[in-house]
Amino acid sequence: MATLTYKKASEELQKIVSDIEDGKVSIDNLYAKLERAKELIEICQSKLKQTDGEVKKLLAKK
Amino acid sequence: MEENKQYRLSELISLVKGVLDANLNTYFYVIGEISNYNGIEPNKHLYPRLIERRNGVITAEIKTCIFRGSVYQLSEFERKTGLKFENGIEVLLKVKVELHPIYGLSLIMNSIDHNYTLGKIQDEKLKTLIRLEKEKVIRLIEPGVYETNNKKLDRPFVIQRIALISSVNTKGYSDFKAALLENKYGYKFTLTDFPAMMQGNDAAKSMLSQLQAIDKRQEEYDAVAIIRGGGDDTGFICFDDYELSKAVANYKLPIITGIGHEQNKSIVDMVANIFTMVPAMAAKSIIEHNKDFENSIVELGHQIANASKEVIDSERHELVELDGRLKHGFKLLIQNEKDTLNQLIRDVKNFSPENTLARGYAIITFEGNILNDTKLLKSGNKIKTITSSSIIESNITKIEKRNGNINL
């Protein structure tokens, strides 16, 4: 999971969302998909936060 | 004067003086070259000679007297013309002729005409400019402004390695060095001295030979500074020199001047990449040039940061939107499944026997079983008909084959 890039995570998340929207997910898989989606959102959020922090740190330097 | 008459010497001189006074008792202007001048001595009258040459040979000469009250004019002349008052210069003097019984005939200087000398310098300068323009070394853009190869050079982003043509340990030299090395931004510089004579007859040649020396090590420097200033305010004519000006105009490294004179720009100033009035200004212009670079870097940093922020913000929005879509999609999907299930429940209910009877259908039983095959029946058999509301017992009176239509 740690090696998952932002791009990969975001792409996987988009696929799950559109699958759910298109009704391609069965009730049997739905919970698992939802759990995965939540996990992916967390990965993306933490990566964004980290990058944002690094950018701010770089800017603070002079 | 009477013919053959004897005069005493003093009488004769007095007579000559009388003639002179009668005809020349007024100040007038005379052009001549200064000679036998040994510099200013405090509180002393000066007695240079004014001469005239033709093809190098002196054809006229006269003693000239500058009284100590007029000596200050020599410094003023130097300040106004930027030219050293020395032997060999041509000047226009306002004078009066005087004959002294002992010291003989001399000119008493009243004043020096600066404008005459300035005009001469200007004429020479103009001639050089015209020559340089004709040879396409310089190109006039607007009055007094010329384009040259040196001016067109791209300055390096940062000027740090400087070849310094100057007279070491003069005021201008130290002014330049101090301003550069003690800059408030803490920029580092490497200065390499190329000592040269900065005034006098050999100055132009001296600077030119240092330019040639630097040229051989071009890659080691970002720019050349020509620095002079402080102390003596004269001898700027070397900076109008044809050969030197031409070399500066075509030089491969950007040249910065800080020659420190209040007069008009010299030709070297006009053709150099950066012209400044004094050494400290030359240093400042280099520092500011580097500061511009630093500013542009900082600005670039801000741009990158802002762009990064935008990327992060847009990703954040995307994520929030995806989360929303996920929740909505999930709800829809669950709702769909519920709807499908409810429909099934309804369907199951619809097909129950009670519901069927309620719609007007009936069940027929024979001998306790639901009748599915009428072949078993004969006239006279007893059957039960179950409807939604009643059970009817009946005897069969007739059995006919059905042709497919329902004719009640």
Q: Domain check: are B62 and B138 in the same one? A: no
Q: B326 and A51: CB-CB below 8 Å?
A: no
Task: Give the β-pairing of B363-366 and B369-370.
Answer: antiparallel
Residue A1 maps to a domain:
no
Of B126, B121, B129, nearest to B89 (Cα)? B121
Q: Domain check: are B93 and B160 in the same one? A: no
As a whole-number percent, the residues of chain B with pLDDT over 70 amount to 97
Q: What is the pLDDT of residues B64-97, one digit of tens each?
A: 999 999 999 998 888 888 778 888 889 999 999 9
CB B320 within 8 A of CB B327: no
When comparing pLDDT for B136 and B2, which is higher?
Answer: B136
CATH (domain of B269): 3.40.50.10550
Phi, psi of B53 (to 5 degrees): -120, 150
CB B326 within 8 A of CB A34: yes
Q: Which residues pair with B20 in a beta bridge?
A: none
Chain B touched by A43 (CB under 8 Å): no
Q: Is the pLDDT of residue B361 over 90?
A: no
Q: Domain check: are B85 and B158 in the same one? A: no
ipTM, 2 dp: 0.81
Distance of CA B309 to the CA centre of its chain: 30
Q: Domain check: are B388 and B274 in the same one? A: no
Count of beta carbons in the 10 Å neighbourhood of residue B151: 20
The tally of domains found in chain A comes to 1
Q: What is the pLDDT of residues B139-179, one digit of tens each?
A: 999 888 999 999 999 999 999 999 999 998 888 999 999 99
Q: Name the minimum distance, in Å, from the CA of B343 to any CA of chain A.
A: 17
The tally of domains found in chain B comes to 3
CATH (domain of B18): 2.40.50.140
Which residues from chain A sit within 8 angstroms of residue B316, using beta carbons?
A: 48
CB A46 within 8 A of CB A18: no
Three-class secondary structure of residue B47 per DSSP: coil
Q: Name the minimum distance, in Å, from the CA of A14 to any CA of chain B.
A: 7
Q: A23 and B336: CB-CB below 8 Å?
A: yes
Of B207, B128, B111, nearest to B165 (Cα)? B207
